[in-house]
Structure 1
Amino acid sequence: MILTKGKKIQVLQDGHVTSPKGFSAGGVHCGLRKTKLDFGWIHSEVPACAAGVYTLNAFQAAPLKVTKNSLEKDDQLQTIVVNSGNANSFTGTQGYQDALKMQQLAAEKLKVEVDNVAVASTGVIGELLPMENIEAGIQSIGDSNHLSPEKFEQSILTTDTITKHVAVQIEIDGKTITIGGAAKGSGMIHPNMATMLGFITTDAAVEAQSLQKALRSITDCSFNMITVDGDSSTNDMVLVLANGMKENHLLTENHADWMRFVEALKFVSEELAKQIAKDGEGATKLIEVNTTGAPSETAAKQVAKAVISSNLVKTAIYGADPNWGRIICAVGYSEQPINTDKISISLGEIEVVHHGQVVNFNEHEASQYLQADAVIINVHMQDGMYQATAWGCDLTYDYVKINASYRT
């Protein structure tokens, strides 16, 4: 249990996207991959208010376009269908028609409105979907043998080594509201989204415009603050579905408990983001960069992103080398105003730079700290009141091995 603004957020043990009332999920192997589960779905008993954010890559994949267009029509979704192994990206008119067909088949199977179905794909770019396999996957929806949130989580993975999920509960209007989430992502991860899919569900009743604003704001300080390798993909999106089945008073920005809901939604998003960063391809360590005392929010975020994105910093952390010069270098090219006489840097509690001057620190102690599974880098700018946090991972030999043979 954690406290936020004096209110309790209960983290559910082994929580999933189906922890909120009225949601089911499942996954099946339909032949897009050799043996692993490769087709999954999330379904709400009733239409849900929905919001989405999408990759900024110019080559947005066909399923992303279909989902975005549908969501813009009426702000509602009831079903999400996802495949792995094939991104259906850069596939032209045929790829778009295939994404529409995927949406239509799912709507017919579940007897929901076509525009209330979101479609998502992840995998290899430039190959058409084998639609016979996709149809077989869709026909499996609802089969009790394939129903489980764990199977859904497995079905959306590509080079991920672990599934990613979380759920929390909060009290609103005397009701116990649940927010659950699942995500995938391991490589091609960089701020402004990546080869990452995130799905969040809640049984709260939430007004559509308020939900969209909250998701966009939260994404900027969670999913958009992670990096693995500096590459941004064509398929990533985050969707939130709020089906209102707990029958609370409609949550809007004017509701007394609005910020409590937003904080819980932010917690779920940050936890999923950190799980993605920790599971970076070949990674051995989660890295957290905290920027404090920045002159603006933009400066705080850009400095944190610069450090977490630096390959030289990432390789130094992998080798447990307390090479603080690489951190200074990354801060310097962040293209933000830096008062070089005030900057202080620490590795965990070990200060290595103080007010622009090198500290005579214990290198052995610092190296030992960097061997931990989680490493924190603090950048104290001491030039304002703004702060930001970014997450990433170390860069290892295995990252090259994984991506050198991604398609083979």
Structure 2
Amino acid sequence: MAVGLGPLPTLHPVAGFELGIASAGIKREGRKDVVVMRCAEGSSVAGVFTLNAFCAAPVILARQRVKGGSRYLLTNTGNANAGTGEPGLLAARQTCAALAQLAGVDEQAILPFSTGVIGEPLPVEKIIAALPAALADLSEQHWAEAATGIMTTDTLPKGASRQFVQDGVTITVTGISKGAGMIRPNMATMLGYIATDAKVAPAVLQDLLSDAANKSFNRITIDGDTSTNDCCMLIATGQANLPEVTETRGPLFAALKQAVFEVCMDVAQAIVRDGEGATKFVTVIVNGGGTHQECLDVGYTVAHSPLIKTALFASDPNWGRILAAVGRAGVDQLDVAKIDVFIGEVCIASHGARAASYTEEQGAAVMAEAEISIRIELGRGTCSETIWTTDLSHEYVRINAEYRS
């Protein structure tokens, strides 16, 4: 049901970053469900990870190892290895150790990632058995295959790519992500991998990723659930013939930041467009807030409201539900008489009440569209925030009711 999400665009290869895909048959025989990514020696690697207290075993290990000269990223789908305690940590270490032995690197250079069903033991033997094939498949050209290999309930692979020229040298930024449900990232997305051939100092790379994730992955929601396995990685291989970026300023950093932000935004919004059972892509804009946080509080209250999301699914312009959500968002001393609400370009509420010009036919016409904006003017200040979300359909319930069957 992906809303406005088509085939993958051209995903430009990144020099010094290779991807290999293999089948371990974790959840289904023949499914390509193991992805190995190899970073050129000397690459910088940055990561952002879920803040869920029940974070998965691979998140614990990857978070510990990310600043230690990472060379390989190992991803499996079909099993989250979350809620598995010490045995889960041991299982993650075993898969990393096996890959390290095959690749001839230290185990600390392997970062593990998992996604899938929570609470089930990781099938270590199946994953280890698939590693030789994944290594043999390594290629800088395999972004599209890897985008498919990391999918779970996604209906389409997600990826984006940008290139720019700096001082006569072409710099590439390419990324992929997966996620369709259990999405309200509290740092990044379900899984995201972005690479560039620029040379970037580790501290600068981490700042760049944290900022980019906050403006993109941390502004999307499908169902308000933060996964146990969320993570997003940014790798700079340093293969482009340009000086190292050591500061968050200058023309090269500015161009790189724009490219990374655009890739992050594309793949983050693709997650929403492919939300489980989604029939609408919804942009919630909150303007005129006294602080950015109160704009986010209002935006997320609207985006998470089951009443609003079901009205969106039904194409029902039940604008009273929007007012009710804004009113319970917890904004201190909210003056409702200053609030205007729009769906699309149609003003549905003005100064806290039904707009005199509004007709039900206008609202119904907007709500019938596949892509809808809800704009809320708070009239309190100059801050603004934008959040992207979906409707809530019968199909979402079916997918999640049958997820383990």
In structure 2, the residue matched to 1:23 is 17
Structure 2 residue 182 is matched with structure 1 residue 188: yes
Which stretch of structure 1 is more off in the superposition, 310-319 or 138-147?
138-147
Return the alpha-carbon distance in structure 2 between the equivalents of residues 195 and 86 of structure 1.
17
Structure 2 residue 80 is matched with structure 1 residue 87: yes
1:362 pairs, out of 359, 367, 374, with: 359
CA-CA distance at 1:243 after TM superposition: 0.7
Deviations, residues 32-83 of structure 1 (Å, cap 9, x unaligned): 02142211122223342011111111111111111111114x3x32221100
Q: How does 1:182-261 map to 2 (within 5 A)?
A: 182-193=176-187, 196-251=190-245, 252-261=247-256
2:330 pairs, out of 332, 335, 339, with: 335
3-state SS of paired residue (1:34): coil
CA-CA distance at 1:319 after TM superposition: 0.5
Structure 2 residue 55 is matched with structure 1 residue 60: yes
Q: How does 1:1-400 map to 2 (within 5 A)?
A: 14-16=9-11, 19-35=13-29, 36-72=31-67, 74=68, 76-144=69-137, 148-193=142-187, 196-251=190-245, 252-337=247-332, 338-359=334-355, 360-400=357-397
Return the alpha-carbon distance in structure 1 between the equivalents of residues 188 and 321 of structure 2.
25
CA-CA distance at 1:263 after TM superposition: 2.3
Return the alpha-carbon distance in structure 1 between the equivalents of residues 308 and 44 of structure 2.
42
Number of equivalenced pairs: 393
CA contact (8 A) 1:288 1:390 kept: yes
CA contact (8 A) 2:187 2:214 kept: no
Q: Go from structure 1 to structure 2 and tell me whether the alpha carbon gap of 1:257 and 1:195 turns closer, same or farther (over 3 Å shift).
A: closer
Return the alpha-carbon distance in structure 1 between the equivalents of residues 303 and 45 of structure 2.
31
Return the alpha-carbon distance in structure 2 between the equivalents of residues 363 and 263 of structure 1.
41
Deviations, residues 162-200 of structure 1 (Å, cap 9, x unaligned): 111001112334322111111111111114158711111
Return the alpha-carbon distance in structure 2 between the equivalents of residues 382 and 178 of structure 1.
42
Return the alpha-carbon distance in structure 2 between the equivalents of residues 357 and 173 of structure 1.
56
Return the alpha-carbon distance in structure 2 between the equivalents of residues 196 and 287 of structure 1.
20
Which stretch of structure 1 is more off in the superposition, 137-146 or 106-115?
137-146
CA contact (8 A) 1:28 1:151 kept: no
Which stretch of structure 1 is more off in the superposition, 216-225 or 180-189?
216-225
CA contact (8 A) 2:21 2:138 kept: no
Return the alpha-carbon distance in structure 2 between the equivalents of residues 319 and 45 of structure 1.
50
Which stretch of structure 1 is more off in the superposition, 396-405 or 378-387?
378-387
- Structure 2: state its 5+ residue gaps: 1-7
CA contact (8 A) 2:21 2:137 kept: no
Q: Go from structure 1 to structure 2 and tell me whether the alpha carbon gap of 1:397 and 1:60 turns closer, same or farther (over 3 Å shift).
A: same
TM-score, L = length of structure 2: 0.92
CA-CA distance at 1:254 after TM superposition: 3.6
Which stretch of structure 1 is more off in the superposition, 223-232 or 61-70?
223-232
